[in-house]
Amino acid sequence: MLKNDVVTEFVEAGYQISPDALEMITSHKMPEKLARYVLSVVDESILVIDAEHIDIDGFEKNGRYTRSVNDGDFGVSIASVDSQTPMSRNMKLPLSSESCKNHVDILFDITDRSTCVGEYMEFVQYFRDRYSRLSEIIRSRINARPIESLRRNSSGFGRNERYEEVSIIGMVSDLKTTTNGHRLIELEDPTGSFSALVRVNDKELFEQASRLILDEVIGIGGVLTNDSKLLIANKITFPELPNSVSCRNWTKGKAVFISDIHIGSSTFLEDAWERFIDFLNGKSDNEKLSEMSRDIRYLLVAGDVVDGIGIFPGQENELSIKDVYEQYRVAGKYFSQIPENIQVVISPGNHDAVRQAEPQPKLPERIRSFFPDHITFVGNPALLNLEGVKVLMYHGRSIDDMVAAVPGVSYQNPTTAMVEMMRRRHISPIYGSRVSIAPEKNDHFVIEQVPDIVHCGHVHTVGAERYRNVVLINSGTWQAQTEFQKRVNLIPNPARVPVVDLSDFKTSILKFN
């Protein structure tokens, strides 16, 4: 974590930080989590955070992954994540038990709202909408000028005015490295385009610039060159999540997050899945697990319910059920075994029988008919309200693009990609790569409303992390390692289930294999 990032995080939270405290945080092996831990426990009366306020021992004890409890009889292990809950300063009290009716309000879903046909102007409108909404977030933090004004007034700059700070906001249209190793960034807004240079000897800023990707919206501050044709950057501003949520509702009970079941695949882990179903039905000799199962109110499924047909070459050789409708029929039988008091929400993924272009609508009526009537089906992505707790569900196919484009992002640590999404306030920022995106009138991947929980899947590895008071979850898979995964050396984390307590957002991971 860069020192500038730490300073920004503390300033946005309303604090200043001393050089000694800054050094303690940035030199720690887990600087981001330590910074968030300090903000969660510091007294509000303190104005300047000093070294004496950095409780390393408390962080090591409470702020990281904690205990692991084995249940030998049930074949399930429990691992708690982030047992220290960072508290926002203005959170509402939990909702009363009388209001806990397992309601799901769908705040956004593309189903029955798609209007695009793929015409040129639809793409223009799509990107203009992205720029407009993300630039508005950045504009609240910096005083930016239209790019056109830099070119129009280049001859009118006075000697002193030329060296004043200038800020612009734009979409990254090109990224290059100069012969001297500097980073050249081309930004575009509705009025024109302009180049900014990040010097290689400005190490912290250069590291930020090396993580930029095409089509994201950022702000850049700096000084113009003598001919006013280049901006020498000294600051990059991302849309970024706010450090704390101004108002948050809690509710009672727990939510379970799964994805990538892949029913119909020859590598589907049926035994582990049946142990999971038993857990949901309270069939456990372990008192702790039985108590947990009684508190479950929601089960959220982030896509790839079945393995599908014709998704990749040679898939028919890896299928145990070779008819897609039969796959869904079997899936419906499995889901009918889930207690009706648990509200199930299912969204599609790239293996499901919907259009491949995202955003995707919910599963078609013929397929939904195979499932119990009380299940709620939504599109991908979808923003949900679970009795006051906002959950953003997205299958997560853009993680493939993030892994390829952003240094340090990996499949084995999927929340690293999700953190990058949060920094950009966009869950699928790269256009024209692996993810096929439908040019709707609005960019439905922009994170305008800050969720409490973001739930992804797709990459078959498990992760749970808290980033700026938002719980990030990647829910793994119910499929053993496939032949393709063996070829690319991807090791999945099957049959692991994140469970979030909706009263305090503590997260546990249950292991059913």
* Dihedral pair phi/psi, residue 379, rounded to 5°: -85, -170
pLDDT at 347: 98
Q: Is the peptide bond before 372 cis (omega within 30 degrees of 0)?
A: no
* Token representation of residue 97: 């038990």
**CB-based burial of residue 239 (10 Å sphere; 0-12 exposed, 13-18 middle, 19+ buried)?**
buried
Is pLDDT of 502 > 90?
Answer: yes
pTM here is 0.81
Which of the two residues, 161 and 23, has the higher pLDDT score? 23
CB 507 within 8 A of CB 289: no
Q: What is the mean pLDDT of residues 466-477?
A: 93
- What is the CA angle 5-426-450, rounded to 5? 75
Q: How confident is the model at residue 382 (pLDDT cuts 50, 70, 90)?
A: very high
Average pLDDT, the chain: 86
- Parts of the chain belonging to CATH 2.40.50.140: 120-237
Residue 457 pLDDT greater than 70, yes or no: yes
What is the phi/psi pair of residue 464, to 5°?
-145, 125
Q: Any idea how long the chain is? A: 513
- What does the angle CA 214 – CA 216 – CA 221 come to, to the nearest 5 degrees? 105
Q: Which letter, b or e, does each residue of 271-297 get, where b requires 16 or more Cβ atoms within 10 Å of its Cβ?
A: ebbebbebbbeeebebeebeebbeebb
What is the percent of the chain with per-residue pLDDT over 90, rounded to a whole number?
A: 61
**HSE-CB for 217 with a 13 A CA cutoff:** 26
Q: pLDDT band at 94, cuts 50/70/90?
A: very low
The separation between the first and the last C-alpha atoms of the chain, rounded to the nearest angstrom, is 35
Closest CA to 104 of 305, 397, 361, 301: 301
Question: Which among 259, 278, 182, 246 has a CA at the least distance from the CA of 449?
Answer: 246
296 has which bridge partners? 254
pLDDT at 268: 96
The pLDDT assigned to 61 comes to: 67
> What pLDDT is attached to residue 171?
97
How would you write 43-76 as a 3-class SS string?
CCCCCEECHHHCCHHHHHHHCCCCCEEEECCCCE
Please give the helix or strand (H or E) that residue 470 lies within, else none: strand 470-475
What are the backbone dihedrals phi and psi of residue 157, each rounded to the nearest 5 degrees, phi first? -70, 130
pLDDT value, residue 421: 97
Instruction: Pick the range with the lowest mean pLDDT from 58-72, 122-136, 137-151, 227-241.
Output: 58-72
The pLDDT confidence band at residue 437, using thresholds 50, 70 and 90, is: very high
Strand (E) or helix (H) holding 464? strand 462-467
CA distance 459 to 476: 7
Residue range 395-411: average pLDDT?
A: 94
Q: List the structure tokens of 436.
A: 């096929």
Instruction: Please classify residue 2 by burial: count the beta carbons closer than 10 Å to its beta carbon, then call 0-12 exposed, 13-18 middle and 19+ buried.
Output: middle
Beta bridge partners of 221: 167, 235
Token digits for 478? 């119910």
163, 221 Cβ separation under 8 angstroms: no
Range list of β-strands (E), 210-327: 217-224, 231-237, 254-258, 296-302
Q: pLDDT band at 45, cuts 50/70/90?
A: low
**Percent of the chain clearing pLDDT 70 (strictly above):** 86
Taking domain 102-117+244-511, whether its CATH number is 3.40.109.10 is answered by: no
Q: What are phi and psi of 99, to 5 degrees?
A: -90, 0
- For the chain, the 3-state helix, strand and coil shares in percent, each to the nearest 5, are 30, 25, 45
Segment among 94-108, 393-407, 418-432 with least mean pLDDT: 94-108
Checking if the pLDDT of 85 tops 60, the result is no
Confidence of residue 60 (pLDDT cuts 50, 70, 90): confident
Q: Check if the beta carbon of residue 349 is closer than 8 Å to that of residue 395.
A: yes
- Which of the pair, 333 or 143, is modelled with greater confidence? 333
Instruction: Report whether pLDDT(202) > 70.
Output: yes
Tens digits of residue pLDDT in 62-82: 644 333 333 333 344 555 444
Where in the sequence of the chain do the CATH 1.10.8 domains occur? 3-68
Parts of the chain belonging to CATH 3.60.21.50: 102-117+244-511
CA distance linking residue 62 with residue 38, whole number of Å: 12
Average pLDDT, integer, range 364-385: 96
| DSSP string over 349-363 | -TTSSS-SSBSBPPP
At 248, is the pLDDT very low, low, confident or very high (cuts 50, 70, 90)? Answer: low
**For 423-432, how does the pLDDT look when each residue is reduced to its tens digit (9 = 90+)?**
999 999 999 8
pLDDT above 90 for 250 = no
pLDDT band at 97 (very low <50, low <70, confident <90, very high): very low
- C-alpha 464 chain-centroid distance: 11
Query: For tokens 């945080």, what's the residue?
Result: 25
> What residue ranges in 110-240 does DSSP mark as E strands?
166-177, 183-189, 192-198, 217-224, 231-237
The closest of 250, 226, 231 to 157, measured between CA atoms, is 226
Residue recorded with tokens 């962080």: 59
CA–CA separation, 387 vs 249, rounded Å?
8
- Which pLDDT score is estimated for 69? 31
For the domain 3-68, what is the CATH code? 1.10.8
Lowest-pLDDT range, 23-32, 34-43, 141-150, 301-310? 34-43
Mean per-residue pLDDT for 341-360? 95
CATH number of 120-237: 2.40.50.140
Say what the pLDDT of residue 35 is: 86
Point out the least confidently predicted range of 162-171, 196-205, 216-225, 413-422: 162-171
pLDDT digit string, tens, across residues 269-311: 999 999 999 999 999 878 888 889 999 999 999 999 999 998 8
d(CA 195, CA 201): 18
Using DSSP bridges, classify how beta strands 296-302 and 217-224 pair: parallel, antiparallel or unpaired. unpaired
Strands 453-456 and 389-393 turn out to be parallel
Closest CA to 272 of 476, 491, 499: 476
The amino acid occupying position 291 is E
Choose among 422, 427, 413: nearest CA to 461. Answer: 413
- The stretch 198-202 carries a mean pLDDT of 95
| Residue 386, beta-bridge partner list | 389
> Is residue 429 within 8 Å of 224, Cβ to Cβ?
no
